Amino acid sequence: MAGTLITGAVLAGGRSRRLGRDKVVLPLNGKPLAAWVMEVVREETPESWLVTNQPLAHLSLGYPCLSDLWPGRGALGGLLSVMLVARGDWILLTACDTPFLQPDLLRAMIQTARQGRSEAVVCQSRRGLEPLPGLFHRRLQARVQTQVQEGVLPVRTLLAAARTAILAPAAVQQYDPRELSFLNINTVQDLAEAAALPKISA
């Protein structure tokens, strides 16, 4: 199990209603928002995709783009799209608007996945269950497809039905003390606060 291939997938299909702009290419301290995420994911996975419903608009970023085959179906639609092409047994799924992903936390999640006893791996922070970032095994593909086709789109529903390993808050604190991995950029204020954080520099 130690050599199990992990495929990375960064979801770039959100509508960004509150920001009014495409999050994927939104600059954060001189770098597109998605680039902050992709750089971390690519360090931990030998294969990675930017999952998008606007591939032509995002090719300029220089990352492998995968068209979302189920646009409007949320994270599960993107996950299913990746499951159809991924070489890896596991999919590391996250969103393009989480530029603070902590590599140590991702490595701990991957290590848990490689122990071979689960079908999904997620975290529980101080605010509760965090569906993303998450690791999802290809064994879940049929279940994911059923949920997508039936319009049952919450990732939590999938996690409840799967054999899910959850990193407890104490473990999360060990690898990500400030729980930065779960912070999303949804508003102009979020973007300003992100730019001011010491961790973010070009």
**In CATH, what number is assigned to the domain containing residue 23?**
3.90.550.10
**In a domain? residue 158:** yes
In the block, tokens 């890896």 appear at 88
**In a domain? residue 112:** yes
Q: What is the pLDDT of residue 20?
A: 62
Under a CB-based contact definition with an 8 Å cutoff, are residues 53 and 67 in contact? yes
**In a domain? residue 202:** no
Beta-carbon contacts of residue 158 (< 8 Å; ≥ 6 apart):
76, 120, 136, 140, 143, 144, 147
Q: How many CB atoms lie within 10 A of CB 16?
A: 15
**Domain count across the chain:** 1
- Average pLDDT along the chain, 202 residues, taken 10 residues at a time: 80 68 86 95 96 90 95 95 95 96 97 94 97 97 98 98 98 96 88 76 40
**In a domain? residue 19:** yes
**In a domain? residue 63:** yes
What strands, in cross-sheet order, belong to the sheet with 6-11?
65-67, 47-52, 6-11, 90-95, 128-137, 120-125, 164-167
**In a domain? residue 201:** no
Q: What is the pLDDT of residue 192?
A: 84
In the block, tokens 């949920």 appear at 147
Q: Where are the alpha helices (DSSP H) in the chain?
A: 33-44, 55-58, 74-83, 103-113, 141-150, 155-161, 169-175, 188-196
**In a domain? residue 1:** no
**In a domain? residue 45:** yes
Interior CA angle at 13 toward 7 and 19, to 5°?
130
Give the predicted TM-score (pTM) of the model. Answer: 0.93
Where in the sequence is the domain holding 149, given as residue range(s)?
6-195
